[in-house]
Amino acid sequence: MSRISGAWVMSVFAVTLLVELPASWVVRGIGLPAREVSGSLWQGQAQQLGPVGPLRWAVQPWRLQANAQLGFQGQAWQLRAEGWPWRWRLEATAMGAQATVATDYRLAGQWQGTLRMQGAGRQCRASEGRMTVTDLALSEPWSLGLGQGWLEMDCRSGWHLRGQLVQQGQHELAVDADLPARRAQVMVKLQPEAALTPLLRGVQWLGPQALAGQRDLRW
């Protein structure tokens, strides 16, 4: 057996051992809040994993595919990945309404659409699609209309998630998030009587008299 063949066999063996690890072991190592985790990294489910849940996943290496269905903020989402690490495709689709785990805040409104990306290694080289929402609102801990918006992935200069949220006569928000760098730039424009004004001034995103501004966020 050549060195290349031997390395390939060992790699397959190591990956097989890894994906057969109990999912509950891995979750404990991550440190996220979790409930009712079962299965393995290969195929499993969880009632809650951090702010997400329920969650189901399956990896099918013989088809070069991985799929996940998850619930987040009252809606079901589907993720699909396929291909080799050096030539992959990723797809995220907004599905229908679904009962999901409780969080400190609650959004109401149904997203629609699909985002598609293609790349190699850590590089995203092409993207298409858009997700839209027509009546997004904050329902907990208080009620606040947020308006209509959209999200899309821009791979022209890396992994950039861009979006906009507009409530006619109230506000206009735009975001550009650099996902690998874990930072985002948020631009805000408000009308004089916008419901968002007290909130944004309270968290010091805007000055006492300002109706427009920009904020850099990191996570």
Tens-digit pLDDT profile for residues 166-185: 999 999 999 999 999 999 99
Strand ranges (E), the chain = 34-35, 38-39, 43-46, 48-49, 55-60, 65-72, 75-84, 87-97, 106-108, 112-120, 123-140, 144-154, 160-167, 171-178, 183-190, 212-218
- Distance from C-alpha of 1 to C-alpha of 201, rounded to nearest angstrom: 68
C-alpha radius of gyration, the chain, whole number: 21
Give alpha helix (H) positions in the chain. Answer: 3-19, 23-30, 197-202
Tens-digit pLDDT profile for residues 44-86: 999 999 899 999 999 888 788 999 999 999 999 999 999 988 8
Q: What string of pLDDT tens digits covers the 219 residues of the chain?
A: 566 656 665 665 556 656 666 777 777 777 777 889 989 888 999 999 989 999 999 988 878 899 999 999 999 999 999 998 889 999 999 999 999 998 889 999 999 999 999 999 999 999 999 999 999 999 998 899 999 999 999 998 899 999 999 999 999 999 999 999 999 999 999 999 999 999 899 989 999 889 999 999 999
- Distance from C-alpha of 176 to C-alpha of 184, rounded to nearest angstrom: 6
Q: What is the pLDDT of residue 67?
A: 97
Answer yes or no: are the C-beta atoms of 105 and 72 closer than 8 Å. no
Give the amino acid at 51. P
- Is-cis flag, bond preceding 141, omega within 30? yes
